[in-house]
Each structure stands twice: as structure tokens, then as C-alpha cells.
Amino acid sequence: MLGAGLWPVVARAQDGRPIEFSVAAIAGSARSRALVADTAEVVGGWWLGGAVGVTAGRLSASLTGFRGTLAPIAHTPFARDAGQIEARVGFEPLPWLGVEASYTARAFSSSSGFQHWTLLGAGVRLSGPVGDSAVHVYLAASYLPLVRASVQASGEHGFRAEAGVSANLARWTIALNYHFERYDFAGGASARLEEFDWFGLHVAYHIPWRRKA
């Protein structure tokens, strides 16, 4: 989608740079919280997913998808089937600094109805080795200027934060990461705040592509 549409431009801009593809499997524990009138409605559970990505020099693009069921934890009788697709494009002006843009489509389905989310984000990412050059940590933060949910007014603003650590083993990367999002919705006495977070294990395999001169 977003990444696929932009990649021909990325490839031309990086002509002569090494290109690497990656495929990954992801398992995570996700939780969704809605705070309304001092009451927290919470659901959580496991979801599974995968990702494909490509890098060319300092430019990158990826597409990630998840699917799972979130069971009731507090103040809600309904389990939710959850799914998400996210596209990202990024650029690293410096080895330790990256900027990125993202588009996320998320859906929840339960016996009480269907809810669709659309999120647009822009942010920065800081990364670097820890002790061994094969081990890296990263911190990222994004502002979400567009937050739309199908069953309520658009969010006033949103914020996303991420942190993770990864180890590179030949062509394999194993990573642990934490992902947090928060959105505020207007409405006076019925104002609503929602949060979504997950811990994930990410195992990726990298495929270098050497182009002919």
C-alpha cells in the first residue's frame, strides 16, 4: 500500500546502494483500554502477525499485519477480534537518527458491533549499539495528527511511543519491543481517553540483493 507505492521512488533515489529484503514473524501480548467517566474498560490477549520490509541505504519501507482475540479484563463483557495493518517509510539522516511516517488501519469486532480505526503518524527514532555491535536498542516517538474511530468523533490528538532491543545473528534478527499509543476524544462530561499497547517478540530473516552493475 503506502510503502509499495513509494518504493519505486525510493529505489531510484538510492541507485547504487545495497538493497536488503526482510520477512518476519511476530507474537505479542496486546491490551486496549478505554477510560470513560473514571471507569476503565479493558480487554487483552495474544495476537500474531508478520512483516515484510526493504531497505536501500538510508531509506526503508515496511508493511506489518496482526490478528488476534482480546478477552475481557475489566468492566466489559465483550471479547473483541482485533486486526491491524501498518505501513511505514523511513529515512536515516544519521546512523543513530531516523525519521518516519506511518499509516495504520485497525479494526475491532465483537457482539456489540464493529469499530474501525485510522491513524496517521510522523516521528523520530533514536538507535545505537549496546556493548556489542550486534546488540542494538532503540527509542521512538510519533505524533498522530489524524486519529479516526468509526463509532465516535475524531480524536483531538494522539501519541505513540516505542522501545526495543535487538540482536543480530548472521542473517537473523531477534527483537523484543514495547509499543504504546494514547488518544484523547472531546465530549465534555462524556470525554473519552483510549490507550493501546503491546509487548512483542519479533524474529526476522534478511535477504540481501546484489544488483548487477
Torsion of CA 76, 80, 83, 88, to 10 degrees: 0
**Architecture of the 2-14+28-209 domain:** Beta Barrel (2.40)
164-194, pLDDT tens digit by residue? Answer: 999 999 899 999 999 999 988 766 555 778 8
pLDDT mean across residues, the chain: 87
Which residue would you say has higher pLDDT here, 210 or 152? Answer: 210
- The mean pLDDT value for 88-94 works out to 96
Lowest mean pLDDT among 74-83, 145-154, 164-173: 145-154
pTM of the predicted protein model: 0.85
